[in-house]
Amino acid sequence: MENKIPNNTITRDIKDLAAPTGNIYETVVILAQRANQIALAEKKELNKRLEEFRNERDTMEETFENKEQIEISKYFERQPKPSLVAISEFEDGELSFRFAKADGKAE
């Protein structure tokens, strides 16, 4: 993820967000779907990286702290929220989207 994405929310003009779609509600749906995609990808990557530390003997009573594991978790916690990444991609024109026609076929 790029460093230009803020880690906190900023005020945006709704008219600017709605401009590419012509409708703020369609924009929100597009942003929500993209944020879900980003969140799922991050979760898969985190689980893959943490899987390396899984031990066959680990149980709820036996939890060992591993410095590398903690650093990986902290790295993912510092990343911008998926919704902020989605908004940034949308504003930069990096998202492609299409609308379904009334007959169920995509435009």
Which pLDDT belongs to residue 90? Answer: 93
97 — pLDDT class (breaks 50, 70, 90): confident
Structure tokens at 46: 């985190």
CB 86 within 8 A of CB 19: no
3 state DSSP class of 38: helix
Condensed to tens digits (0 to 9), the pLDDT of residues 2-27 reads 457 877 778 889 999 999 999 999 99
3 state DSSP class of 28: helix
**Which residue in the block uniquely carries the two structure tokens 């967000």?**
17
Which pLDDT belongs to residue 61? Answer: 53
Condensed to tens digits (0 to 9), the pLDDT of residues 33-72 reads 999 999 999 999 998 888 877 765 555 555 566 788 888 8
- Domain edges within the chain: 14-91
